[in-house]
Structure 1
Amino acid sequence: MITKEQIAEDYKQIQDEICTALEAADGLGKFEQEIWERDGGGGGRTRIIQNGNIFEKGGVNFSAVHGHLPHTVKKALNVEQDDFFATGVSIVIHPNHPFVPIIHMNIRYFEMPSSFGSQSEPIRWFGGGIDLTPHYVIEDDAKHFHGALKSVCDQFHADFYRRFKVWADDYFHIKHRDETRGIGGIFYDRLTANDEISWEQVFEFSKAVGRSFAPTYIELVNRNRDKAFTDEHQLWQYQRRSRYAEFNLVYDAGTKFGLETNGRIESILMSLPPTAKWIYDYHAQPGSEEEKTLSLLKKGINWV
């Protein structure tokens, strides 16, 4: 049986691999690490990169925490017991270039002892996903991104990409704006073994998603990092960052879970951009690239 300790160790290795790849891609920025402990049990490794050649602010964070769930979280998860263990890697990268997209990834594992005694199987599942938030939607990049995710999904189940893409479209939707945060990706939760996939395969899928992050994102970075841009392009970038902040503060389940389980505030809110702008009653110019991007921030677009 795969143990929670093994899962945590493999996630730490994935954190290491991603940090090494991102530092090489940036060429200047280096991750600073902070080891932290959580009141109530566990801790993690927060790694932040700032003011690099291309990465203005980013985090690649690992955590493995345990303890007792607050009542609000128990109610949200629809469970009776409160002992839990959770581990994962969470990533958000904010580039300094308007044509390089924001990216988010999370792979996580959650476990609770069985409420029927130590002889029963624990309640356990994997969750996670990757989604892309371009400031400007470049269709070839969107196709590459979704194609890479579909390739990973297809290795494990013929229907994973379709199901998890729809889930991402629904999850990363800014309801009060009636627009998606970006071009989606894949999102899944409470994924466990069944008649079609073993527990070992579910774990391998989680790791494969994590290891797809660096090559997929670095390809998009290198496609766009040398493009010229104007002050107007950067103003639009800051406008789109504000939508990212709105989603994370209002809807994001990971943010809520971290805050409600006494997580480390700096690690939880590292997902917010360093600079964002809320321009009152902004309207994109007809026929502009900004208007085109807004037209593509909707559910159900078939990129592959």
Structure 2
Amino acid sequence: MITKEQIAEAYKEIQNEITYALENLDGKAKFQEEVWDREGGGGGRTRIIQNGNVLEKGGVNFSAVHGKLPEPIKKAFGVTEDEFFATGVSIVIHPNNPHVPIIHMNIRYFELNDQIRWFGGGIDLTPHYVVEEDAKFFHQQMKNVCDKHSDTFYQEFKTWADNYFFIKHRNETRGIGGVFYDKLTPEKTGMSYEQIFDFSCDLGRTFAPTYIELVNRHREQEFTSQEKDWQLLRRGRYVEFNLVYDSGTKFGLETNGRIESILMSLPAQANWFYDYKAEEGSEEQKTLDLLKKNIQWV
């Protein structure tokens, strides 16, 4: 049976692979690493990149933490056990150019005991401007990795992402979705823990080639001050989701996580324009029209 230590080591290696790939992609900025310990048990490696050629701000974080599970989390998970272990890799990248999308990835494992353990994760894309060709490419990449492991994963996890990455108070999706899953177990999937872990690792290794392709399509594209303002507004929506709805943010704060690592998902700059209305027929309005659930990109 795969152990929590083996899972953590594999996730560490995926963090290494992705930071190396992103540094090569940017060509200028390098990740700064901070190794930290969590009061209560465990720790992690926070890696932040800033002020690059392409990447304005991004984080590729690894953590493996353990200790007492707080009462609110026990209640939310519907468990009575106290001791937990959690490990994962979490990524958010905010690019300079408004024509390059924001991307988020998380792969994680949670364990209370041999009977209560599960995997979660996903990759989702948040373009400032939705380009349908890019959306189709991204979703095809997600479908390819899902289909390798199960012919039901993609549609199930896409729907899950559409519903999860939804800003209820705006009645719009955060971006074009992707795949998202939580609490995957052999009972739910018909797969062994080893097989679910293999899927988790394959998804993690899909991140770099997928994002590199999307960045290289648009990194040299010129943009206007109006398009930059739109990017800052869309970043504001990203902030709203992460601070109001994101379960990872809530889990980190509730379990006495490291604040800088938890909030590394926030952009360096974001704006909120009062009562913003996109001009009819504009590229901004076209994007808003595509921030909906249940669009079948592939």
TM-score by length of 1: 0.97
Which secondary structure does the structure 2 equivalent of 1:64 belong to? Answer: strand
What is the alpha-carbon distance in structure 2 between the residues aligned to residue 109 and residue 198 of structure 1?
14
Q: Give the Cα separation in 1 of the matches to 2:16 and 2:87.
A: 15
| 1:170 lines up with 2:195 in the alignment | no
Residue identity in the other structure for 1:74: K
Measure how far apart 1:152 and its partner are.
0.1
Aligned residue number for residue 125 of structure 2: 132
- State the Cα deviation string for residues 104-149 of structure 1 (Å, max 9, x = none): 0000000002xxxxxxx33100000000000000000000000000
Aligned to 1:302: 296
Matched, 1:261 2:248: no
Q: Kindly provide the amino acid, as one letter, of the partner of residue 142 in structure 1.
A: A
Structure 1 portions without partners, runs of 5+: 114-120
SS at match of 2:280: coil
Per-residue deviation, 1:200: 1.2
1-structure distance, mates of 2:82, 2:59? 29
The yes-or-no answer on 1:141 pairing with 2:134 is yes
Q: Using the alignment, how far apart are the partners of 1:219 and 1:79 within structure 2?
A: 42
1:87 partner amino acid: T
Q: In structure 2, what is the equivalent of residue 191 of structure 1?
A: 184
Cα deviation code 1:227-264 (max 9, x no counterpart): 11000000000000000000000000000000000000
Task: Give the structure 2 partner of residue 240 of structure 1.
Answer: 234
- 1:196 Cα deviation from its structure 2 partner: 2.9
Residue 206 of structure 2 corresponds to which residue in structure 1?
212
Q: Matched residue of 2:221: which SS?
A: coil
Match of 1:228 among 204, 222, 225: 222
Identify the residue that residue 91 of structure 2 maps to in structure 1.
91
How far apart are the structure 2 equivalents of 1:277 and 1:7? 39
Match of 2:154 among 161, 168, 172: 161
1:199, distance to aligned residue in structure 2 (A) = 1.7
| Structure 1 residue aligned with 2:45 | 45
CA distance in 2, matches of 1:197, 1:292: 41
1:125 alignment partner AA: W
Please provide the CA RMSD for this pair: 0.7
What SS class does the counterpart of residue 123 from structure 2 fall into? strand
SS in structure 2 at match of 1:62: strand
Query: Residue 287 of structure 1 corresponds to which residue in structure 2?
Result: 281
- Aligned twin of 1:179: 172
**SS of the counterpart of 2:159?**
helix
TM-score, length-normalised on structure 2?
Answer: 0.99
Output the amino acid matched with 2:130: V
